[in-house]
Amino acid sequence: MRWRGMAVAAVLAATPAHADNPQFRGADPHAIIIGSELWVFPTGGPSGSWSADRFGAWSSADLVHWKSRGVLIRRDAIKWIGDDGAAEHFLWAPAVATRNGKWYLYYSVGPQNPTPSRIGVAVADRPEGPYQDSGRPLLTGGNGFEAIDPMVFVDPRTQTPYLYAGGSAGATLRVFELKPDMVTIAREIAVEQPPQFTEGAFMHERNGLYYLSYSHGKWNGPSYSVHYATAPSPTGPWTYRGPILTGDKSHQGPGHHSFVQRNGEWLIVYHRWERPPGEGPYRGERQVAIESIRYASDGSILPVKMTDRADSPR
């Protein structure tokens, strides 16, 4: 998504805690479990307002108190960023993966016009970094495709890493297999376009069923929402299941999310606008929130109710 926000999910042994929604300012949150904490890698975050020149991370053991993990990487450390000749550049929509003791930070570099958007990747020895850029773009947009919103999923069945990317104006999802080094594309895999797809793809697996979820609509308007499809593999074929997270009387534009499993419970971590219904474009700061996910007996995801304060998940 504009100016924004591989699941590595594990189960914690800690006592369930209170999620005090909204959590903090930020967008496009990629959430993973590291040790006994939930880590969130967003665009922007609780230490200040929008920042388009760096990424940070925040962690919490109780989903109430958040600890800054510092700056992961700054824009001026990405040496190739000015190679396109554009007057300015912005960073948004980070995603994190880990493999072979290394951590990989994938991110969007824009704007899309007048030059194509790009996706970069940086590597670190620890989740909080510091991250060192790989030295070149991982993927470059063009011909109607926007190279934005990366997400890397390592299939638990085969250990194959997949990169999901694309969306917005082109509303095109592309999927790639990565090489074992996690910073090189091995090949593109042709996939059908999921219905209602706009951007922000995320993949998770549960009981052998693969869930492709994504944002639909305009990022700063009332249509923004989360839809999903299921498949027998990480690359389809997709069975569209419909929307699961849409605006209500107090919150608008929920989207660009991630799924994570904590204490045996699945959660969705997403951003939203704290405001009643109304036409966009919305302005100001988006907020990160966390909700419980419930699955039906057939594996489908039940519609998600957005919560505030006392009625947030425990």
Residue 106 reports pLDDT greater than 80: yes
Which pLDDT does position 44 carry in this prediction?
A: 82
* Of residues 53 and 6, more confidently modeled: 53
Which has the minimum average pLDDT: 11-15, 145-149, 197-201, 220-224? 11-15
Residue 19: predicted pLDDT: 66
Q: Is residue 18 part of a domain?
A: no
Active site residue 199: yes
Is 83 one of the catalytic residues? Answer: no
First to last CA, the chain: 29
Residue 219 lies in a domain: yes
| 8 within some domain | no
- Which of the following is catalytic: 20, 28, 146, 149? 28
Whole-number Å distance between alpha carbons of 311 and 21 = 9
Specify if 7 maps to a domain: no
In a domain, 163, yes or no: yes
Average pLDDT, the chain: 91
Q: Is 149 helix (H, G, I), strand (E, B) or coil?
A: coil
Q: 166 lies in a domain?
A: yes
| Catalytic one of 20, 199, 205, 291 | 199
Give SS3 for 224: coil
| Residue 82 maps to a domain | yes
Residue range of the domain that includes 66:
24-311
Q: Does 189 have pLDDT greater than 70?
A: yes
| Residues 94-128: b if buried by 16+ CB within 10 A, e if exposed | bbbbbbeeebbbbbbbbbbeebbbbbbbbbbeebb
A 10 A CB-CB count for 257 gives 29
For 132-158, b/e burial (b = at least 16 CB within 10 A) is ebbeebbbebeeebbbbbbbbbbbeee
Q: Report if residue 111 sits inside a domain.
A: yes
* Whole-angstrom distance, CA of residue 271 vs CA of residue 257: 7
CATH number at residue 108: 2.115.10.20
DSSP secondary structure letter of residue 194: P
Residue 2 pLDDT more than 60? no
Confidence band for 3, pLDDT divided at 50, 70 and 90: very low
Domain total in the chain: 1
